[in-house]
Structure 1
Amino acid sequence: MNVNAIKPSWNPLSIALMVLGFVVFWPLGLAMLAYILWGDNMTGWKRDAKCQWDRSNLKNAMDGMQAAAGSGNAAFDDYREKELNRIEEERKKLDSMRKEFDDHMHDLRRAKDQDEFDRFMRNRHNRASGPSAGEAI
């Protein structure tokens, strides 16, 4: 079965899987219903969850390295701590820039959708106010 065939929409396959899920074990049906309704939004959730997971794993690894990798030289350890803090600040800046870019892209998509809708409404209005099909031009 093609995984791409299961899209978050009301198609026969997703409806059948939802009904089957409710029959077998009701939380599966509920999960499928949630996927149908909000599946398009899950890509952002998935990316954010992965970023959080990677960030927490990196932080845990860095904490473990800091505790276990003391050099015995106080000056070097201070320098290392400052550099790690600087890198963490850079990561925060990059995360902030990514968020701003995601917001910008969302605004662009929204503006494009609004333009397309306005064009549709103009075309619809022009057809409705134009000469009817039965009249001679």
Structure 2
Amino acid sequence: MGTADNAMGGSYGAREFGPSDWANARWRRRGGSRWSAFEILAMILGFIVFWPIGLAILGYKFWQSRYGGPDLQTLANNKWQDARTMMSSNSSWSSSWGCGGAMRSASRFYSPSTGNAAFDEWRTAELARLDEERRKLDDAQRDFAEYVDAIRRAKDREEFERFMAERRARPANGGATETH
């Protein structure tokens, strides 16, 4: 070996790594996040189902290794619990869509107050007017359905009476005469 090799620590500056040196190398521990089986499976399935999902998981893991943060499974569990808590505690969400009832009011899609009293009064009056119009339309639809039903019954009654009259007018033996 030459002088340059001795000064650089061996073969052109390359350092020899043993098994423990390789496992504990500083560049491998940056961020300290290892891939769990869940994350590997999620990434593979993400690429199979829709490639941006797999790419997002891969990007999250690189971000996590650089800046830290929870692993993917912990993050998913936290987000799932947050969503469940929000859905169970937010009663205005379930009532605004009429869950569990057949309420047909236009006001169910709006928040209770905007903070402007004049606007809230106008909105309440308009919603009441629209509810009244909806009720009138429902009544008109019901009346028309009853009218059409009455016409059908009358037509059916007329056809039935005509059939019965023709049946009575026929001879008893079916209209055929005997020939020998």
Of Structure 1 and Structure 2, the greater helix share is in 1
Task: State the structure with bigger RCO (CA 8 A, min sep 6), 1 or 2.
Answer: 1
